[in-house]
Structure 1
Amino acid sequence: MRLTYTVPLVSLVMTGAALAGCGASSHPATSPPSTVAPATSAPTQAESNPAGDIPDNQVYVAYRYDHGGFTVKVPEGWSRTQTANGDVSFTDKLNRIELSGAHATTAPTPQSVDAAVVPSLRAHVHGFTLGHVSTVSRAAGPAVLLTYQGDGPVDPVTGKAAHDSFERYVFFKDGREAVLTLSGPTGADNVDPWRTVTDSLRWQ
């Protein structure tokens, strides 16, 4: 007796589709090789200071200002100039320290500096903007601090003037005033250098 088997049509269709898929390629499907860039380290850059920042390793030397009767530490190597009336300034590129002295009958106060000094600065400093007037403590005693902004000296090469920040300290002792004005480009971080200078004042 001959036995006859009947295969469902659905099974034949699925089997045929599977065989067709296998016959499409004799190799298994593979993804294209990925390209991995070799690891590289960022280039090492030398540390640089923003414009006007005084280096942390700056050396300071004592300067005796006989006209004002005091000594103060100033950055070594800065250029020194003196005016006809005895004022002395130290400059290096974008920064400046000015020293002056005068006789006074009473100690300055924030109110007296505001009344006597600010109008003159407003008239003579181009782009003047007042900051604040306060009393601060330093090693030589209290001082009146006036902060402001304005245009610095004109560069003889470029003909342009940078916008500077100023700190003007007025010290007093025994009828004498010592005035220290420190300036540099607005945005420069010279808090520590300016503290070194103003904290070093000693009366003679």
Structure 2
Amino acid sequence: MAHARTSAAVGLALVAAVTAGCAGSGSHSRSGSSPSSSPAGDGGAQANPAPTESNPPGDIPDNQVYVAFRPGSGFTGFTVKVPEGWARTEQGATTLFTDKLNTVRITATTASAAPTVGSVTNTVVPTLRAQVPKFSAPKVTEVNRHAGRVVRLTYQGDSAKDPVTGKVVRDAFERYAFYRQGHEVDLTLSGPVNADNVDPWRIVSDSFAWR
């Protein structure tokens, strides 16, 4: 009888050990199943991001073609090259050429004297400060262009809110004041501050000529 009880006890111990081993194996299998979901997670993290713009918004292409603009009758005689294909708008004595985020503004007026660094600083800058949202960083200098010595005003300001997206762009401006015999033409070039339009704006401002 003692031998039988001993055998039964050993049998129960073996059953318990096997049961525990199976339970351990099942637990390990469940815990090991979680890594199988990691490749999907990694795949999501490694998904290709949206492509980065090759040029900052507002860059004028290097292959842009320029065409001569001449004002209609009743305006001062001059010519200036503007980018071909840009939308044209007439606002009295002002002509606008726009494309996406860039603008060429040409305004013809009369003036009793040639503009100077002092007159632009004391008269034009305060006017623009009141008109341009968040006007800042004005700098007035004299520069040489093909038409001769001109006064250039550079500054920054916020664009008007886009009527569709509601977005506002921080713009950089270059304003050139050309003068001859009582006639003044103000040429203003503008685009986003992060755009590289140095060469295009030089082409336009250098092309101005009286006729």
Give the TM-score of the pair, scaled to structure 2: 0.72
Provide the C-alpha distance between the structure 2 equivalents of 1:168 and 1:46, rounded to a whole number of angstroms: 32
Shift of 1:149: 0.3
Q: Deviations over 1:108-136 (max 9, x none)?
A: 10100011101111111111003310000
Instruction: Name the structure 2 match of 1:50.
Output: 56
Q: Is the 8 A contact 2:93 2:109 kept in 1?
A: no
Shift of 1:47: 8.5
1:61 corresponds to which letter in structure 2? V
Matched, 1:110 2:95: no
Provide the C-alpha distance between the structure 1 equivalents of 2:187 and 2:76, rounded to a whole number of angstroms: 11
Instruction: Name the structure 2 match of 1:21.
Output: none
Provide the C-alpha distance between the structure 1 equivalents of 2:107 and 2:144, rounded to a whole number of angstroms: 19
SS in 2 for 1:137: strand
Matched, 1:154 2:161: yes
Q: Kindly report which structure 2 residues correspond to 1:117-196, keeping only aligned pairs within 5 A, or say none.
A: 117-196=124-203
Instruction: Name the structure 2 match of 1:8.
Output: none
Instruction: Name the structure 2 match of 1:72.
Output: 80
Provide the C-alpha distance between the structure 1 equivalents of 2:53 and 2:190, rounded to a whole number of angstroms: 24
1:171 corresponds to which letter in structure 2? F
Q: Which runs of 5+ in 2 are unaligned?
A: 1-50
Aligned residue pair count = 159
Structure 1 vs Structure 2 CA RMSD? 1.6
User: What percent identity do the matched residue pairs reach?
Assistant: 58
Provide the C-alpha distance between the structure 2 equivalents of 1:134 and 1:72, rounded to a whole number of angstroms: 21
Q: Deviations over 1:64-106 (max 9, x none)?
A: 02424211000000000011x2210000000000000111121
Q: Which runs of 5+ in 1 are unaligned?
A: 1-44
Q: Is the 8 A contact 1:68 1:100 kept in 2?
A: no
Provide the C-alpha distance between the structure 1 equivalents of 2:71 and 2:116, rounded to a whole number of angstroms: 24
1:56 corresponds to which letter in structure 2? D
2:139 corresponds to which letter in structure 1? H
